[in-house]
Amino acid sequence: MSAIEQASARFADGELVLVGDERDETVFLACPADGIDAPRLDRLHELGRGMVFLGLPEPAARRLALPDPRRDTGARREIALTAPIDAAIGIETGWSLRDRALTMRVAADPGSRSSDLTIPGHVYPALVGERPGGASAALELARLSGRAPAVALCAVVDRHGRAASLREARADEKLRRVHAVSPAALHSAWVAAHVAELSVSCALPTKAGRFRAVGYARADQDPATVALVHGDPATRSLPLVHVHVACLFGDAFGSLLCDCRRDLDAAAGAITDDGAGVIIYAMPPQAKPIACVRDEPIDAALVAGLLRACGIDECRLLDGGRDRRLRDELRGCGLTVAG
């Protein structure tokens, strides 16, 4: 069972899961909000020590008519706290664990409307955008585990009140027993689940052989990342994968100042010779349009998600072992990368 499947199984049972990896500044302790009760909320406070809030995706916030604090500022952060709420019915003081758990369950219910809540109240909801981060990853965990898209979240802080890294969180004896999953792995699962609606594809005959080109972009203004798929890699053990960083001079003009075009041609040849495989043609997020940027970091969660959508959980990378960073990042997304 993969790390994502293990985390999903625990989350489906209403258990707490740590969402974070070593690079994240904020590690969240997450729990499905649709089934939260007073003991689970208490445990979230006890183990996380930070502020507890209710993470909701933007469509749920609109359904509940929650004010959007970003409307005036225009800032598009991953998390935007909005006006505190209470359940309209069944609340006593509003402060108690029981009352706040009830409010979270009401807000998490996909059938609830704005009339089921009152403002101001005692539970802070936060609008969670699709910008990759720990909170949006926790919402993806809710989706994968079949829970309602709403999560009770607590940013983990250390004994001095500072945000704890994953290593510091895991040093705590109680938190060590909580299952952890990386946001990158969850975001790759998100990409894989949304490829069908966010991509276009066509047949692409090339000199090396026949490919299917799948162009994927999360938003209209994003550059497309293209997966060139040959054969059916899902049926192969350890299919060949080449991750190519776009290089205008090398790829289009055959520049001899870098090896990009040669690598691309060699990868296409090796994959068609092997019968199946995938070339991911990626745009580095910070790239200048014409410089050769093969060493720039790329969105590994996006690459892993596209590979997952091709049915690939394990692969061989066609880079001769050069790109250790990418290899480690893909492994961090839950893929098995041989070699």
Peptide bond into 120 cis (omega under 30): yes
Cα separation, 95 vs 93, in Å, equals 5
Compute how many residues bind Zn ion; rule: CB under 5 A: 5
Among 250, 277, 305, 334, interactor with Zn ion by CB under 5 A: 250
Query: Closest distance between Zn ion and the C-beta of residue 217, in Å?
Result: 22
Residue in the block written with tokens 């664990």: 97
State both tokens at 242: 């080449």
3-class secondary-structure state, position 108: helix
Contact 54, 107 (CB under 8 A): yes
Nearer to Zn ion, 119 or 258 (CB): 258
247 is an interface residue for Zn ion by CB under 5 A: yes
State both tokens at 124: 């802070």
Selection from 43, 48, 60, 82 nearest residue 150 by Cα: 60
Nearer to Zn ion, 132 or 250 (CB): 250
Nearer to Zn ion, 151 or 245 (CB): 245
Query: Closest distance between Zn ion and the C-beta of residue 319, in Å?
Result: 14
- Kindly identify the residues of this chain, within the stretch 115-134, that bind Zn ion according to CB under 5 A: none
CA atoms within 13 A on the CB side of 5: 5
Residue 248 carries which DSSP code? I
Among 107, 139, 267, 292, interactor with Zn ion by CB under 5 A: 292
283 is an interface residue for Zn ion by CB under 5 A: no
Select from 86-94, 223-231, 243-251, 281-289 the region that touches Zn ion (CB under 5 A): 243-251
Nearer to Zn ion, 37 or 296 (CB): 296
183 is an interface residue for Zn ion by CB under 5 A: no
81 is an interface residue for Zn ion by CB under 5 A: no
Among 198, 258, 266, 270, interactor with Zn ion by CB under 5 A: 258
Query: Closest distance between Zn ion and the C-beta of residue 282, in Å?
Result: 13
- Largest Cα–Cα separation, the chain: 74
Contact 284, 297 (CB under 8 A): yes
Contact 204, 213 (CB under 8 A): yes
Nearer to Zn ion, 172 or 259 (CB): 259
* For helices 3-12 and 183-198, angle between their N-to-C axes, nearest 10 degrees: 90
The one-letter code for the residue type at 11 is F
Query: Closest distance between Zn ion and the C-beta of residue 260, in Å?
Result: 3
260 is an interface residue for Zn ion by CB under 5 A: yes
Select from 5-13, 65-73, 258-266, 329-337 the region that touches Zn ion (CB under 5 A): 258-266
Q: Which residues bind Zn ion (CB under 5 A)?
A: 247, 250, 258, 260, 292
